[in-house]
Amino acid sequence: MVVRKRKKILKKRGHRTAGYGGQKKHRGGGSRGGRGNAGLHKHKVMRMLKYDPDHFGKKGFKRHFVRKPRSINLDELNKIIERLIEEKKLKGEMKINLTELGYDKLLGNGNLKYKITVEAKMFSKNALKKLEEFGCKAITVD
């Protein structure tokens, strides 16, 4: 004859509600006002405002590795050239590299006083036009 053993999963069986309090408390999501985040704009709005105020709305993101070019105008370049001449760093054929000075782009505001060769990553159209009119050279460098 087969020996029948009692199963171990008989905890709280026989108790009418199996540990859930009243009978209605173990029904669906109705006992908690909907499942999950349901009702955050309606009946659970105060809970959302208190514990998670940034739940709704746009947050945005940061665009990494997008850097605005550091630019310099022609009139500012004049001041730098004058300073370099005073320090006797520019002699004879005047050649200036803007990337070594920490600039990426040459803009065309102002006028040049010196005939010079300018090396930079970028030039504005106006700056190129003024350089050519004055007889200067513009060399793009990577």
Q: Could you give all domains of the chain from N- to C-terminal order, each with its CATH number?
A: 71-140 (3.100.10.10)
According to DSSP, the residues that pair with 73 across neighbouring strands are: 107
Mean local confidence (pLDDT), 121-132: 95
Contact partners, residue 87, CB within 8 Å, separation at least 6? none
User: What H or E segment, with its residue span, contains residue 49?
Assistant: helix 45-51
Q: What is the pLDDT of residues 90-125, one digit of tens each?
A: 877 889 999 999 999 999 999 988 899 999 999 999
Q: What is the pLDDT of residues 2-36, one digit of tens each?
A: 888 877 776 666 677 777 778 777 778 888 899 99
The upper half-sphere exposure of residue 2, i.e. CA atoms within 13 Å in the direction of its Cβ, equals: 3
How many other C-beta atoms are found inside a 10 Å radius of the C-beta of residue 116? Answer: 20
- What's the predicted TM-score (pTM) here? 0.55
The upper half-sphere exposure of residue 54, i.e. CA atoms within 13 Å in the direction of its Cβ, equals: 3
